[in-house]
């Protein structure tokens, strides 16, 4: 999500360069304002208006694609992202967002393919390594996931996402001590990382440390989620708490 926000900010900067039509510029500004306030439907309408006038406006396609992604409309996001990639097939940021969209519709084979393309262009792209690893985890390919995560952490040793994902691999291998170590490292960097709190609690639970598990889960449910992904783990956490109370 953080990387996607960076893409939006870059697009925002581009939006104010080289416009010759005031109506188009104003539509971009309105669309960006609606995006920032979470009014995604109205943002999409503004970008639609621009694309009706110029179907090949690459900036509008990018922004509409990201808006579709934020609005959990992944099929439409993929369509726009694919259109952008016909213009620039090696656009790494767009490939990463399309891969994330494929993952969200449970098409991890296509996600892995896009991340692999990114890594053919930028072999040290830690985000692509981490995200591809998560798709491998989803498919149950823990060995490939571990290889990618170790590579990602050599590039960015303090990446909480890669640490947490490696913790998940250890957890799925029943290596609970190493899992706890990675989740703890991730939480030192981001104490409100709901996924790490959930899984560290699970690892403590599997080791029989019920009190520590409950402590982590209770900490997790006090955090305000900022994504559907966080909300999913909060739901799982509450179910775990209910099962031990």
Q: What is the largest CA-CA distance in the chain?
A: 66
Read off the pLDDT band of 151 (50, 70, 90): very high
| CB contact at 8 A, 41 and 14 | no
- What's the pLDDT at 13? 42
- What's the pLDDT at 1? 47
pLDDT greater than 70 at residue 181: yes
Q: Kindly report the CATH class assigned to 158-245.
A: mainly alpha
Number of alpha helices (DSSP H) and beta strands (DSSP E) in the chain:
14, 0
Q: Structure pTM? A: 0.85
- Residue bearing the bigger pLDDT, 82 or 29: 82
pLDDT greater than 60 at residue 23: yes
pLDDT greater than 60 at residue 16: no
Contacts of residue 116, defined as CB under 8 A and 6 or more positions apart, other chains included, come to 132
- What's the pLDDT at 21? 55
- What's the pLDDT at 229? 67
Domain boundaries, the chain: 21-73, 158-245
Q: Which of 35, 102, 107 is nearest to 74 (CA)?
A: 102
If you average pLDDT over each of 22-26, 59-63, 179-183, which comes out highest? Answer: 179-183
Q: What is the DSSP letter of 191?
A: T
pLDDT greater than 70 at residue 183: yes
Name the 3-class secondary structure at 85: helix
* Sign of the CA dihedral with 187 first, then 158, 185, and 142 last: positive
pLDDT greater than 60 at residue 215: yes
* Tens of pLDDT, residues 62-107: 999 999 999 999 999 999 999 999 999 999 999 999 999 999 999 9
- What's the pLDDT at 9? 45
Q: Which of 243, 209, 223 is nearest to 233 (CA)?
A: 223
Distance from C-alpha of 51 to C-alpha of 218, rounded to nearest angstrom = 47
- Residue bearing the bigger pLDDT, 33 or 110: 110
What does the mean pLDDT of the chain come to? Answer: 89
The CA distances from residue 192 to 7, 18, 214, 217, 219, in Å, are 24, 41, 16, 11, 8
Read off the pLDDT band of 7 (50, 70, 90): low
């Amino acid at each position: 999500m953080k990387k996607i926000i960076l893409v939006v900010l870059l697009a925002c900067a581009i939006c104010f360069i080289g416009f010759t039509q005031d109506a188009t510029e104003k539509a971009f500004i309105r669309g960006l304002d609606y995006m920032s306030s979470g009014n995604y439907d109205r943002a999409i309408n503004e970008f639609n208006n621009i694309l009706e006038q110029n179907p090949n406006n690459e900036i509008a396609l990018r922004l509409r694609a990201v808006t579709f992604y934020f609005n959990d409309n992944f099929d439409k996001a993929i369509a726009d992202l694919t259109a952008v990639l016909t213009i620039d097939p090696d656009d790494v940021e767009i490939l990463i967002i399309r891969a994330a969209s494929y993952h969200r519709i449970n098409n991890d084979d296509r996600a892995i393919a896009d991340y692999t393309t990114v890594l053919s262009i930028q072999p040290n792209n830690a985000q692509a390594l981490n995200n591809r690893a998560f798709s491998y985890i989803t498919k149950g390919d823990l060995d490939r996931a571990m290889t990618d995560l170790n590579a990602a952490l050599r590039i960015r040793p303090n990446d909480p996402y890669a640490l947490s994902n490696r913790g998940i691999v250890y957890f799925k291998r029943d290596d609970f001590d190493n899992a706890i170590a990675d989740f703890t490292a991730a939480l030192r960097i981001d104490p409100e990382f709901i996924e790490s709190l959930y899984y560290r609690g699970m690892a403590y639970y599997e080791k029989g440390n019920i009190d520590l598990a409950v402590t982590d889960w209770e900490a997790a449910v006090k955090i305000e989620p900022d994504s559907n992904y966080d909300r999913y783990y909060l739901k799982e956490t509450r179910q775990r708490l209910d099962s031990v109370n």
